[in-house]
Amino acid sequence: MISSYSAVIGAILGATHPVVLAHRQSLVDYRAVRPHLKKILTEQRGAPLAAATLVYYYHAKYRYWFKQQWDVNTPHWVDAPRFSTGFQMFADGYNMSWIPNTNHVPALRRLVRPTVLPTAPQTWTANGNSPARSGGANPSRSADSPASPQRPRVRNHNPDPRLLETGPLVHKLRNMKISELLSKAATPVPQGAAGVRCLTWHAKGGCFSDCLRVQDHTALEGKEKEALYQWCKLALE
């Protein structure tokens, strides 16, 4: 699908247009990382949504570029979209922060992998916000349960190093169950674009592949990253 984009755009803009050339170069960069990128993205989102997410990555960049070109209203070219940026970031340390959020796209929300419904009522913490038992994993099983061939864990390749390196905070996180962390918190877990955070993913460095909050299995940046770090720090004081 993303290969055919260049043919369509080439027919509209011309084969030598900078946008077309940038797209073709991005295909070279994409093929260089495709095996590992496909594996990790499929683990996070499931095969249908993983493929659709890559198409949407291009779609969003094209849409923004055409809008800029229209708004400028000049014969001069607007700089071509930087399609290769994401693939280069992935090649340089498996960075997934460039992967777009798709929760706001109804057609893509339908591609989210099916989840297992809870077999018993969930208990909630005093903050009235987060399930005390699951911490983001399938609520029919504890987030701190061991992995199995039927329910494998997925590694977070872009964690906040302050939560997973060394020091007293990290030691507490490693030895505390998510349910305990939630019970100690005085404030609700910070919200994100995908809803309530998956603490197992961000604070433990990985989660189950059938997590109900798999849409939050991405790298946090900026204010969202700092908000979760400060929440964990406050909860563990």
Would you give per-residue pLDDT tens digits along the chain (237 residues)?
A: 788 877 888 888 888 989 999 999 999 999 999 999 999 988 888 888 889 999 999 999 988 888 888 877 666 678 889 999 999 999 988 898 899 888 888 888 778 765 443 433 334 343 444 443 334 444 434 444 554 555 677 888 888 888 877 667 777 777 788 887 787 777 888 877 656 678 888 888 888 878 888 888 888 888 888 888 888 888 877
Domain layout of the chain by residue ranges? 2-109, 118-237
Q: How far apart are CA 103 and CA 105, in angstroms?
A: 6
CA atoms in the 13 A half-sphere facing the CB of 182 = 24
What angle (nearest 5°) sits at the alpha carbon of residue 97, between those of residues 92 and 101?
Answer: 145
Considering the entire predicted model, what is its pTM? 0.49
Q: How far apart are CA 34 and CA 6, in angstroms?
A: 18
**32, two tokens:** 């260089």
Q: How far apart are CA 31 and CA 84, in angstroms?
A: 11
Burial of 37 (0-12, 13-18, 19+ CB in 10 A): buried
